Amino acid sequence: MTESDITVREKTKSKKNKEHIVNDFSMVVATVNGSGSQTSNLAIIRSLFRMGIPVSGKNLFPSNIQGLPTWFTIRVSSEGYSARRDSAEILIAMNPTTFAEDLKDLAPDGVCFYDDRFTITEERSDVVFYPMPVRDLVKDVNPAQDLRDYIANMAYVGVVAEMLGIEIDEIQGALETHFMGKQSAVDLNMRMIQAAASWADENLIKQDRYHIERSDQTHDLLLVDGNTASALGAIYGGVGFAAWYPITPASSLADALEEYLPQLRKDEESGKATYVVIQAEDELAAIGMAVGAGWAGARAMTSTSGPGISLMAEFAGLAFFAEIPIVVWDVQRMGPSTGLPTRTSQGDILFVRFLGHGDTKQVMLLPGSIVECFEFGWQAFDLAERLQTPIFVLSDLDLGMNLWISEKFAYPSQPFDRGKILTAEDLDRFREFARYRDVDGDGITYRTLPGTDHPLAAYFTRGTGHNEHAVYSEQPDDWDNNIERIWRKLETARNLLPRPVIQKTHGARIGLIGYGSTDPAIIEALDRLKMEGLSTDYLRVRAVPFAPEVEIFIREHDAVYVIEMNTDGQMHKLLQLEVPDQAGKLHSLTHNNGLPLSARWVVEAVLDRAGG
Amino acid sequence: MATDVSEKDTPTKNVNQLGLTKADYKGSATTLCQGCGHNSISSQIMTSLYELSIKPEKIVKLSGIGCSSKSPTYFLNRSHGFNSLHGRMPSIATGTALANRSIKLIGVSGDGDTASIGIGQFIHLVRRNVPMVYIIENNGVYGLTKGQFSATADKGQVLRKIGVNPFMPVDVCMEALIANCGFVARSFAGDPKQVKELLKAALSFQGTAVLDIISPCVTFNNRGESTKSYTWGKAHEYPLHDVTWVPKRDEIQVEYKPGEITEVDMYDGSTLLFKKLEQDYNPTDRMEALKMLEETCCGGVLVTGLIFINEEQPPLPETEEMVDTPLVYLTEQELRPSKDSLDQVMEAFR
C-alpha cells in the first residue's frame, strides 16, 4: 500500500476528524476460552511486530479448557513501552457473556468492534461502534463444520486490520510462521480475513482516531515468550537432564525443551540424544531425579511453579546441605494454595529463599526480561556447578507465558564452568581427597563424580551431619565447621551472581527497587515521574544473596521504595534483613491481584507515599 | 595402587580377576544391631561383587532412610554412595542412572522406605525400567523409630507395646510384577547362598531387578510367630527352585537328569540354571508368577527364588534413545549447540 492510497482512504472514510493517534494504544480481545482465538491474536500481534511497531501481548486466561472468558490484550507503543495498561482504548468483543462488562471498562472515546448479534446495553455515546457480521462472513467462506468457531475468530482480524491499517501481507506472513508452512491452513484463514477486510472496506466508515503506521523500531528484535527463552538458555547452557511435572505456568518451559532439544542436541553420527527429558510422576520425583543427575555430574534441571516448589522443599534442603548442583525454575503464579493458577505473582520470594527446614538459604536469580531468561538459563548451570548448590531461577507467568519484544539473544560469552571437580589424574597427584574440606578458603570444596576410576575418589553423600570427609558425625565442632563453611560459600556467591542493574538520575534522593517482570512498568513509571517533577533512581535486583551494590544504593538514598507483586512485601523484608540499620527508610509498595503491574499504579503508589 | 590389574603378574589365590582382595570391597564397621539380617545381606553384596570382579568404582550405592538405608555405609567404601531421603531413592537412582549409564546402581531400601512412604516412586521406577538392582531389606517394622508396624507386616500380627496390625500387607513382589518388572525375586537373609546367586543374577540384568529379602529385625520383630523372624523363615522357607548363576565365560558343567534343569539366557551372556525342587515352576511365565504370589500370600510358607524373569523390555536409557556415551562424559562441544543454530532458532521469532 502506498502513501497516497492511505491518504485517499482516509479522506473517504474520516467523518469525525479528531486528532490522529498513531501506534499508541491498547487493544483487548474478549473471547471464549478454547475457541481458537489465540491464532487470531497472534496473527495481529505478529503482523504489527513485522510492521516495525513495538508491541506486547498478554493473555488473561482462566483455569479452564473450554468455555470461560479469556482476554488477550495487545499494547502498541511507539515509545517502546511494554507494560500492561489499566484500560484499553479498543475492544474487540467476541464473548456475549462479558460484553456489557467489557464495554463498561473501555477507555473514554474508545472503539468497540463487536459481533453484530450482540445487543449493546451499556450507554456509551463516547464510543465508536463497529458491528461485524461474523455469522454471515463465516457462511460465505463456508469452512468445514469443525473449523467454524475457529475461522469465525479470523473475521475480527480482517475487520480490525482494515479499520486500523494493519497490512494484510504481514498478516499472511504471520500465519505462515504460525502454521509452519501448512499452506491449506494459511489459505483458509486468509480467505476469511480477506472477506472480512473487504466487507469492512465496503461497509464501514472510519470514525475513530486510532491508526497503525509502518515503522522501523523492531528491526533486529524478537517477539517471544519467556519460557521459550528460558528453555533455549538451558539448551545453550548444555542441559543434560531435565525432569518436570505438568503445571501452569511452567509447562511451556518443558514443552520448549522438548521442542528444541531434538533439533539442536542430537549426536550427528548416531542420531541419538545428548540429553534426556523425563516427565516425572510428581514434583518430588522431578527434583529428586535432577538431584541424582546433578550429583552424578550432568547439568540437571527441573521447572515448576509454586505448588511444585512446596513439594520440592525436602529435596531442596538436601541438595543445599549435601551441596549438589541443580537448577530449578519457578515460574511463579498466584498463591497461597492453588490460588489463581493462571494469574501472575511474585509470591515465592521468601519461600524459595529459605526453602528447606533448618537454616537453609537458597541462591536465587531473578530474570527481568526475555534476554535474561535466556542468559540466566545458561548461567544458572555455571553457577550451580561453581557453587555446588541449587540455583533457583524465579520467573513468573507474565514473563514466562506472555509475548514480549526482546533484544536478540547473545551466544554465551564464556565456556562452561564445571566448578571444582577432581579427576582420577588429579587424585593421583594430590593423593588425598576430603569432599567437604575448604582447600581454597572460599567455602567451595572439591567433588568427585561417581564412576571416577580411582580408589580415593569415593565419598558418601548424605543429608545427615558430616565431617569434611563426608563421614557421619554428631560432633558439635564438625557441625559448626561445616555450616560456617557453607555460609562462607554464600558470601563468595555474592560476587559471582548477576549484579543489579542501576539507573541513576542526577540529584535524585529517592530510590526505587524492583525485580523480575515488573521492570517494564517501573521503567515507564520513571519517565512519568520525571514529568511529574520527581527524580528517582532505580535498582533492579537480579540475584539473592545480594551484591554489595544493593546496600550502597540503599544507603545513598533518603527513601527507598521496594516495588513488587506480592502482599507481604517479601523482597522488602529480605532487604530489611540485609541492611537492618536502614530498615526504616525502606518502604514497601505491593500490588497483588493477579494482574501485571501498570506504570500508572507505580506512579500513583510512589507519588502517594513520596508526597508528590 | 590396588586397581592396577596389569602389574599383578601372578594372581594369588585371594584376589579376583581384577587383582582386588575382599578387603577392597569392604565398608565401614556396621552400627546396626548384632545379628541384624541387613548385615548378612551387606556381606553377600560384597562377596558377589568380589566374585564377579566388578570394580567398586563402577558401582554406586543408593538408599533412602531407615536401618536398611544406613547399610550402604557398611559395604564398598570405594564406591560413591548417596543416602538420600525417605522413600525417594528411586528418583535419585533415575537421575543418576540416566546421567551415567556406565555405572551400576545398587539401591538398598526397606519395607517402610519402599512400601509406605516410597511406594509411588518405587512403582514408577519399575515402570520406567531404570537399570539398577533394587533391594528391599524387609523386616515388617520401623526399627530406627522403635518398632512400629510397616506396610508389609502381616494382618493380625501382635507386637508388644504396639498392638495388633489390622491391615493386609503390601506384597512388594506383587507390586513390582504389576508394574511390569522384568526381574522379581524373593529371598531370606538366613539363606545366604540363595541371596548371593540372586544378587549375581540381578547384577547381570539390564533393567530394574527387584529383590525382596526377608531380613529379620532381631530387636523388634524376631519372635518365633512372626513371618519376618529367623526361626519362622528357617522353618517355612519354600524355595521355588535351586537357582545358580553361571557367568558368560564358564561352560555349563553341571550334571543333571533330563527335565530337571531349566536354563534362561541373560542379555549379557550369562545363564541362569533353575534346578527343579518339589514342583514345577516356570519363572518366565508372568501369570504363573502372579498366581503363585496370590496363592501363597497368606499360606504359611516363605516362597523364595526368582519369581519372574523377562529381559525384553528395554532399559530406560534405550527407551529415551540416549547416546551410548554417558551424559557426564559429553564435552562442551557436544552439549552446547553452535552459534549458527541459535541464529536460526531466533529467525522464527521474527
Instruction: Tell me the CATH class for A3-218.
Output: alpha beta
Region A544-548: what's the mean pLDDT?
98
Whether pLDDT at A612 is above 70: no
Note the CATH architecture for domain B19-241+276-347: 3-Layer(aba) Sandwich (3.40)
Euclidean distance between the first and final Cα of chain A, in Å? Answer: 48
Tell me the count of A-B CB pairs closer than 8 A: 224
Nearest residue, CB atoms, B95 vs list A232, A296, A462? A296
Q: Which residue of B has its CA nearest to A180?
A: B348
Distance CA B242, CA B261 (A): 9
% chain B with pLDDT above 90? 86
> Contact A296/B322, CB-based, under 8 Å?
no
> pLDDT, tens digit, for every residue of A409-440?
999 999 999 999 999 999 999 999 999 999 99
The pLDDT value given to residue B70: 95
Whether pLDDT at B198 is above 70: yes
**Where are the domains positioned within chain B?**
19-241+276-347
Q: What is the DSSP letter of B327?
A: G
> pLDDT, tens digit, for every residue of B304-323?
999 999 999 999 999 999 99
Contacts of A485 (CB under 8 A, 6+ apart): A436, A438, A443, A445
Q: What is the distance in angstroms between the Cα of B310 and the nearest Cα belonging to chain A?
A: 24
The pLDDT value given to residue A2: 42
The pLDDT value given to residue A18: 67
Contacts of A274 in chain B (CB under 8 A): 322-323, 327, 330, 334-335
Region B264-282: what's the mean pLDDT?
92
% chain A with pLDDT above 90? 92
Contacts of B349 in chain A (CB under 8 A): 222-224, 406
Cα A197 to chain centroid, rounded? 34
Rg (CA), chain B: 22
A320: contact with B, CB 8 A cutoff = no
A174 vs A228, B208, B340, CA distance in Å?
A: 18, 49, 23
Region B325-343: what's the mean pLDDT?
98
Contacts of B336 in chain A (CB under 8 A): 236-238, 412, 416
**Global ipTM:** 0.95
Whether pLDDT at A303 is above 80: yes
Region A340-360: what's the mean pLDDT?
97
Contacts of A285 in chain B (CB under 8 A): 88, 90-91, 94, 120-121, 124
pTM comes to: 0.95
Beta bridge partners, B159, equal B163
Positive or negative CA dihedral for B327, B329, B330, B332? positive
CB count in 10 Å sphere of residue A555? 13
How is domain A501-610 classified at the CATH fold level?
Rossmann fold (3.40.50)
Mutate which of B55, B61, B98, B339 to test chain A, going by most A C-beta atoms within 10 A? Answer: B98
The pLDDT value given to residue B104: 98
Contact A297, A421 (CB under 8 A): yes
Q: What is the distance in angstroms between the Cα of B122 and the nearest Cα belonging to chain A?
A: 11
Contact A599, A81 (CB under 8 A): yes
Contact A66, A24 (CB under 8 A): no
Nearest residue, CB atoms, A451 vs list B95, B100, B341? B100
CB count in 10 Å sphere of residue A363? 25
| Pairing relationship of beta strands B148-149 and B141-142 according to DSSP bridges | antiparallel
Q: Which residue of B has its CA nearest to A235?
A: B336
Whether pLDDT at A14 is above 60: no
The pLDDT value given to residue B12: 59
Residues of chain A with CATH 3.40.920.10: 3-218
Q: Which residue of B has its CA nearest to A277?
A: B320
Mutate which of B84, B86, B108, B338 to test chain A, going by most A C-beta atoms within 10 A? Answer: B84
Nearest residue, CB atoms, B339 vs list A299, A411, A416? A411
Contacts of B98 in chain A (CB under 8 A): 241, 276, 278, 289, 293, 298
> Contact A460/B72, CB-based, under 8 Å?
yes
Q: Which CATH superfamily is domain A224-407 in?
A: Thiamin diphosphate (ThDP)-binding fold, Pyr/PP domains (3.40.50.970)
Contacts of A353 (CB under 8 A, 6+ apart): A361, A362, A364, A544, A574
H helices present in A61-182, as ranges: 99-105, 134-141, 148-164, 168-178
**Any long-range contacts for A259-263 (C-beta under 8 Å, 24+ apart)?**
A259/A231, A260/A231, A260/A232, A260/A235, A260/B345, A261/A235, A263/B345
Region A343-361: what's the mean pLDDT?
97
Length of chain A equals: 612
CA dihedral (B132, B135, B136, B142) in degrees, to 10, reads -100
Nearest to A326 by CA among B44, B48, B92: B92
Helix (H, G, I), strand (E, B) or coil at A122: coil
Whether pLDDT at A113 is above 80: yes
The pLDDT-based confidence of B298 (bands split at 50, 70, 90) is confident
CB count in 10 Å sphere of residue B301? 12
Nearest residue, CB atoms, B337 vs list A264, A294, A462? A264
The pLDDT value given to residue A63: 82
The pLDDT value given to residue A33: 86
Region A291-295: what's the mean pLDDT?
98
Mutate which of A314, A460, A461, A466 to test chain B, going by most B C-beta atoms within 10 A? Answer: A460
A31: contact with B, CB 8 A cutoff = no
Nearest to A412 by CA among B344, B337, B348: B337
The pLDDT value given to residue B4: 45
Q: State which of A119-133, A237-251, B133-147 shows the largest mean pLDDT.
A: A237-251
% chain A with pLDDT above 70? 97
The pLDDT value given to residue A116: 96
Q: A68-72, A192-196, A316-320, A465-469 — which is least confidently predicted? A: A68-72
Give the distance between the most distant pair of CA atoms in chain A.
89
CB count in 10 Å sphere of residue B302? 22
Mutate which of A281, A373, A454 to test chain B, going by most B C-beta atoms within 10 A? Answer: A281
A288: contact with B, CB 8 A cutoff = yes
Backbone angles phi, psi at A469, to 5 degrees: -90, 10
Contacts of A412 in chain B (CB under 8 A): 336
Whether pLDDT at B9 is above 70: no
> pLDDT, tens digit, for every residue of B59-109?
999 999 999 999 999 999 999 999 999 999 999 999 999 999 999 999 999
Q: What is the DSSP letter of B322?
A: B
Whether pLDDT at B302 is above 90: yes
Q: What is the distance in angstroms between the Cα of B286 and the nearest Cα belonging to chain A?
A: 25
Mutate which of B328, B331, B338, B339 to test chain A, going by most A C-beta atoms within 10 A? Answer: B328
Distance CA A91, CA A105 (A): 9
Q: What is the distance in angstroms between the Cα of A166 and the nearest Cα belonging to chain B?
A: 17
Region B257-275: what's the mean pLDDT?
89
Read off the C-alpha cell for B217: 529385625
> Contact A270/B78, CB-based, under 8 Å?
no
Q: What is the distance in angstroms between the Cα of A42 and the nearest Cα belonging to chain B?
A: 12
Whether pLDDT at A358 is above 80: yes
Residues of chain A with CATH 3.40.50.920: 501-610
Q: Which residue of A has its CA nearest to B20?
A: A455
Residues of chain A with CATH 3.40.50.970: 224-407
H helices present in B100-185, as ranges: 111, 119-128, 172-178
Distance CA A404, CA B64 (A): 44
Region B186-211: what's the mean pLDDT?
98
The pLDDT-based confidence of A355 (bands split at 50, 70, 90) is very high
Whether pLDDT at B14 is above 70: yes
> Contact A288/B3, CB-based, under 8 Å?
no
Cα A463 to chain centroid, rounded? 34
Q: What residue type is A157 in one-letter code?
A: V
The pLDDT-based confidence of A1 (bands split at 50, 70, 90) is very low
The C-alpha cell 543429608 sits at: A463
> pLDDT, tens digit, for every residue of A71-102?
999 999 999 999 999 999 999 999 999 999 99
Whether pLDDT at B260 is above 60: yes
Contacts of A48 in chain B (CB under 8 A): none
The pLDDT-based confidence of B186 (bands split at 50, 70, 90) is very high
> Contact B83/A463, CB-based, under 8 Å?
yes
> pLDDT, tens digit, for every residue of A364-394?
999 999 999 999 999 999 999 999 999 999 9
Q: What is the distance in angstroms between the Cα of B95 and the nearest Cα belonging to chain A?
A: 4
